[in-house]
Structure 1
């Protein structure tokens, strides 16, 4: 029997290390048991962390969710010692159906195939699941040109957001004649609500290393960099372990697999600047300069890192490569649409019932991801919109929830596929405030190099802030549109060019909310603090004093069993009173 603890960042944050220790202590009390313990990365069901898998001697798997130290003891006594699963805590079983099975029903796992199944710190487990077989096939049976042709044939597009054909990008990087070339993995995941790259690096680092190696062979590079933000310490730790293991087994270093191919990998820890997700800024950062974009051309394929031909792909793109070479381009192209092939990993976040990591075939309707896989809104309130593509993307409204998830269809809505962040919103979200939030993020992350991004986003943010504070004017919407178009056309890099997207899409689909803020000085979603007021209905208030006791600024007064009142001059509109009131006496106007 085997006990496996999910110890991705999500599992650790939920208390996974305490659960691990609880099982270790229980095993130490039963030294004669033939039971082993292991750890794995994110299993995908982040909404059910901490997750524990019990694999019996027949290979049957039972996965438990929301495990704590107390539940660990029950699971150990009943299942490990007694052989009887604790069904109340089971979220997935290989022998019985479960209400949570629909989370996986429409998924197709290629990038995440090994995540949640292997110990990310064990190369033996990765090899058992076919790691590096694609590399071996490429080095021993294919020329670099054949590798590039196979990736082109697969239809794989860059999963970092732009959607440029990966094989074509490799072809550009192979063409220049140079004694030195570089290939770079962009793991600088900075979108709010996105955790795809982090989870892949934590759960299956060897998949990314294999993709980097195959890419290096294809373009003629002998050195690779992984640019990973320092805020991902677990990912960096497991990458370092994977690199050392790959060296020991002959998958990295000199004369790899006896083929004469040499390759080394270095990790560069980034300081968390969002702009370093842009490839020329990323290159500058690796070189030790301030991370700021530069004009193109020359493109990195001709003059990149240290002025040498370079290629940059993101984590998910590279994690597909080994599978494609191992199984063939035609197999990969079976998934997806005519123009967009394969699968896509998404991080479901926001007001979603089943937040977590999913991988679905491209071409699936947005509705099926949000409702069938994600379980709809966590609040149970009507779905309002989904933000896709992070700060560079846009908000897709509920009436477009049947949109097919591929690059072309999403672009038509004004949003983008992006790297895979998907933030779900319900009727309580104010779309003007959402636009202000994302613009505040991009404005803060602007490197300041070009005027259109530095000053233009600042002016847009000032207008949006004014609107949410009830000081908007009729001229503000035309000003926002004009500024947005100027920034999109003239900003230097992708960060600036796409910064207006959240504003443009919310204006396109939720213009009435902007007008309500400006003309009526009302926030329809009742979220903008300057435009709302909390009050207590004397007919419903029973004088229980719970609201007064929980108010952080003590603005509620009244005696026991008598209606209470709120002092509007002190109230910070935090909403605590409404949350704790059991009688529905507190309203927002």
Structure 2
């Protein structure tokens, strides 16, 4: 990569690389994010490369850009295409085709069919009702209501190639800033766009930047929060794996605006691919002169580094994150002072998450009105969500703010698996809320969700059906939250422990209505008295399930039953005499010796000894074990 010493150099490089890409006579992109890699996409990629090399004429962007007379075929690895449940996915860019559930043995057929302009129909996504293949993946219900902005490069460009990013107007927003916009101008543009923090809090980004920009300090820091500790959430990971350069550009613009000359990416160590690609991208930027001293001939100098988090959920909170970077234990601190005034090493610091920063380049290039034209008045723009759980279509989704939960679950998600009935959706991670069917027409935006006791959070959505016990779900999330509490403040440290104890009593059939009253009281105290956002939202799973699913709590405590049939303590195993052949297999497998009888005669279960493990039912070949 040649060095870019001026804005003119950048414009010329962009034209050069765009021209080079246009001379790819065939381009096949293989999804190589963590999910598809786990499903074998790298084997597909290697086989495609092997076939292409054997056929001849395989080129890369460096070869194409160095010789304008060269044309050829390219096989590249890209980021996430979103439709995770259909991976591995392969895109034939030159034909605008996307193949799903691709296996290594499909590679040769895909390659030679693509050369002839032919379609491998059996590998296309199909209409779930008619089984008719979609010629273009965008026709699939999973994509129809999406609005792609943050994810526009993911699945389309090689995330390891700075040349491909520059070819698609990469770093042009930074060039626009450096060519005549003051920090105040940039701050004003971001403020007017209405961009709110995508990490969960939804605080206006422009306002946050202004706090740090107006501080009088020789040293300031910009931090990108890529910790993303919510179970089931993978939005930030996917953006970093598929489009590091865009986040880097956003970091640089943010640093310029607040007056920082140093930025730090804080990324959880459990994201090794994201960390690897991020470090490689930073190195490429340094080699190209886009990081370092006097960037593009301006007076702006900037450096970036990567710090890996140790996996603590609380380190997603700003003050705990900064403590971790400083080499201290990751625990929250009281505010004020706020980080924008006294943050990392007691210097003014701004912390934005990955998605927030990824929005910045397009806002600068297209203007605040463009951004405000998407989404709602108070929550403009798009938001990425990780859609998981009991829906047919799981994956990474980007929608305009204001899209309803119903559209998310039943249109994009394709509805509930196995014709089951929808029960609830957990939104906003473990500190979010569980919303029932009556809230499905609620808009996915900051204010609407807050009114019903939930929150956008980082963007994790878990869909549940009738087979999920809502009480057990709340207990599970409380287990996670309690384990991840940093323990600094009494309200969170002791309150989450007490809430977990009560929830455990409920699912083990040991609770009373007095316990339920105490649970609500403790939840309210934890919400009001905790030090940081983790503690203040820790009770959300309890409070929202009590608000919308109180009847299930009552069923557990008063009626001594689990409506979903999930909680082991409420299961009652009996042997149906008419079906039992007296083989004794269940008695041999019983861990608590609760089953007895005489061979060739019906056996019986001693309920006082039964531990409700279910092994007897799994063992019986005659369906003689009944569960009530």
Give the C-alpha shift of residue 544 in structure 1.
12
Q: 1:65-93 CA distances to partner (integer Å, 9 max, x unpaired)?
A: 1112233344345x246543221211289
- Partner Cα distance (1:542, 1:407) in 2: 60
Which residue number in structure 2 is paired with residue 15 of structure 1?
40
Q: 1:14-52 CA distances to partner (integer Å, 9 max, x unpaired)?
A: 111222233234335434685431100110010001111
Q: Give the one of 381, 386, 389 matched to 2:425.
A: 386
- Partner Cα distance (1:409, 1:328) in 2: 26
1:346 and 1:421 in contact (8 A); partners too: yes
Give the C-alpha shift of residue 325 in structure 1.
0.4
Give the C-alpha shift of residue 248 in structure 1.
1.9
Residues 552 and 130 of structure 1, relative CA distance in 2, 3 Å threshold: farther
Which residue number in structure 2 is paired with residue 54 of structure 1?
92
Give the C-alpha shift of residue 361 in structure 1.
0.3
- Partner Cα distance (1:330, 1:384) in 2: 39
Residues 80 and 340 of structure 1, relative CA distance in 2, 3 Å threshold: closer
Which residue number in structure 1 is paired with residue 309 of structure 2?
270
User: Whose radius of gyration is greater, 1 or 2?
Assistant: 2
Question: After alignment, is 34-43 or 66-75 more displaced?
Answer: 66-75
Give the C-alpha shift of residue 215 in structure 1.
0.3
- Partner Cα distance (1:94, 1:321) in 2: 37
2:32 and 2:79 in contact (8 A); partners too: yes
Give the TM-score normalised by the residue count of structure 1: 0.92
Does residue 486 of structure 2 align to residue 447 of structure 1? yes
Does residue 510 of structure 2 align to residue 471 of structure 1? yes
Which residue number in structure 1 is paired with residue 76 of structure 2?
38
Q: What SS does the aligned partner of 2:297 have?
A: coil
Q: 1:90-132 CA distances to partner (integer Å, 9 max, x unpaired)?
A: 1289993569611111111111111111111011111122221
Give the C-alpha shift of residue 535 in structure 1.
5.3
Which residue number in structure 1 is paired with residue 237 of structure 2?
198
Give the C-alpha shift of residue 547 in structure 1.
10
2:390 and 2:463 in contact (8 A); partners too: yes
Give the C-alpha shift of residue 437 in structure 1.
0.7
- Partner Cα distance (2:363, 2:585) in 1: 60
Which residue number in structure 1 is paired with residue 63 of structure 2?
none
1:60 and 1:95 in contact (8 A); partners too: no
Alignment map for 1:215-230 (pairs within 5 Å): 215-230=254-269
Question: After alignment, is 173-182 or 377-386 more displaced?
Answer: 377-386
- Partner Cα distance (2:122, 2:617) in 1: 34
- Partner Cα distance (1:28, 1:169) in 2: 52
Which residue number in structure 2 is paired with residue 90 of structure 1?
124
Question: After alignment, is 558-567 or 22-31 more displaced?
Answer: 558-567
Q: Give the one of 88, 91, 100 matched to 1:65.
A: 100
Question: After alignment, is 543-552 or 132-141 more displaced?
Answer: 543-552
- Partner Cα distance (2:586, 2:101) in 1: 31
2:95 and 2:114 in contact (8 A); partners too: no
State the superposition RMSD in angstroms.
3.1
- Partner Cα distance (1:69, 1:558) in 2: 54
Q: 1:303-352 CA distances to partner (integer Å, 9 max, x unpaired)?
A: 00011000000011000001100111100000111211111110001112
Structure 2 residue ranges without an equivalent (≥5): 1-25, 59-71, 127-131
- Partner Cα distance (1:447, 1:291) in 2: 7
2:406 and 2:440 in contact (8 A); partners too: yes
Which residue number in structure 1 is paired with residue 221 of structure 2?
182
- Partner Cα distance (1:565, 1:364) in 2: 55
1:533 and 1:573 in contact (8 A); partners too: no
Question: After alignment, is 125-134 or 294-303 more displaced?
Answer: 125-134
- Partner Cα distance (1:387, 1:65) in 2: 28
Residues 562 and 221 of structure 1, relative CA distance in 2, 3 Å threshold: farther
Alignment map for 1:118-517 (pairs within 5 Å): 118-517=157-556
- Partner Cα distance (2:50, 2:587) in 1: 45
Question: After alignment, is 189-198 or 373-382 more displaced?
Answer: 373-382
2:95 and 2:117 in contact (8 A); partners too: no
Residues 302 and 506 of structure 1, relative CA distance in 2, 3 Å threshold: same
Question: After alignment, is 30-39 or 189-198 more displaced?
Answer: 30-39
Q: What SS does the aligned partner of 1:425 have?
A: strand
Residues 246 and 586 of structure 1, relative CA distance in 2, 3 Å threshold: farther
Give the C-alpha shift of residue 2 in structure 1.
2.3
Question: After alignment, is 59-68 or 564-573 more displaced?
Answer: 564-573
Q: What SS does the aligned partner of 1:84 have?
A: coil
Residues 127 and 366 of structure 1, relative CA distance in 2, 3 Å threshold: same
Residues 143 and 273 of structure 1, relative CA distance in 2, 3 Å threshold: same
- Partner Cα distance (2:555, 2:90) in 1: 49
Q: 1:480-504 CA distances to partner (integer Å, 9 max, x unpaired)?
A: 1110111111111111111000000
Q: What SS does the aligned partner of 1:303 have?
A: coil
2:569 and 2:612 in contact (8 A); partners too: no
Give the C-alpha shift of residue 377 in structure 1.
1.7
Question: After alignment, is 84-93 or 16-25 more displaced?
Answer: 84-93
Give the C-alpha shift of residue 575 in structure 1.
8.0
Q: 1:396-415 CA distances to partner (integer Å, 9 max, x unpaired)?
A: 11111000111111001100
- Partner Cα distance (2:347, 2:612) in 1: 56
